[in-house]
Amino acid sequence: LTKNLDEQKGWYWSCRARSYFIDIINILERLYHNFYIEEPYDACIKVAISSEFKILLTYINTHLDEKQTLESLYSRFRINKNQIERLFREFLNTTFYDYLRNRRYEEATYYLRFTELDGEQIATRIGLSSSQNFCKFFKQMSGTTPNKFRKHMVARRKSDFELTELMHISK
């Protein structure tokens, strides 16, 4: 893989190759978010709660495209809504809704950086109802519009490539 990437001419991958690569990155990120949660330092009793919480996080991370609320999680897992909030505060030092919003923002930035998906498609993939809601959400989270963010990231990637090319030429 490294050899193929090093020998690849030009910075622009085909849409299909880039899409596959982004899918792999998304899977790795989901694995990271699902399984790399620090265990509590105190009592062994919390291990059962921790595994229960990991299952809950796995579900949330793999169903970002669905509407998720404390009520929907309660009906699926039969964990009290207050207990869900307590688990988020205890293990991640955040609330359920803040965690969900941050995860959706992370997914949106991946799609904007590495795909050609439009706002409506990204909105659907991260569980928002429309491209207008996606634009409002993204601007609230980042302070910029999705289009400006995408253009900035593409320009940054191009400049990184040009710098890498200059380094290879100078060798």
CA nearest neighbour of 47 among 55, 39, 35: 39
Q: What is the pLDDT of residues 101-110, one digit of tens each?
A: 999 999 999 8
Report CA dihedral (128, 23, 55, 53) to the nearest 10 degrees: -70
Determine the pLDDT at residue 14.
Answer: 60
Neighbours of 151 (CB within 10 A): 13
Contact 105, 141 (CB under 8 A): yes
Tokens of 69: 């609320």
Tokens of 25: 């990155």
Determine the pLDDT at residue 43.
Answer: 45
> Cα–Cα distance between 133 and 130 in angstroms, integer?
5
Q: What is the pLDDT of residues 20-75, one digit of tens each?
A: 777 787 777 766 655 554 444 444 444 445 788 888 988 998 899 999 999 999 99
Determine the pLDDT at residue 51.
Answer: 80
Determine the pLDDT at residue 2.
Answer: 52
Determine the pLDDT at residue 139.
Answer: 97
Determine the pLDDT at residue 142.
Answer: 96
pLDDT above 90 (res 114): no
Prediction pTM value: 0.69
Q: What is the pLDDT of residues 83-102, one digit of tens each?
A: 999 999 988 899 999 999 99
What does the chain come to in residues?
Answer: 171
Measure Cα distances from 164 to 10, 72, 155, 169 in Å: 11, 48, 14, 9
pLDDT above 70 (res 1): no
Q: What is the pLDDT of residues 116-170, one digit of tens each?
A: 889 999 999 999 999 999 999 999 999 999 999 999 998 887 777 666 666 666 6
CA 111 from centre of chain? 9
Determine the pLDDT at residue 74.
Answer: 92
Contact 90, 52 (CB under 8 A): no
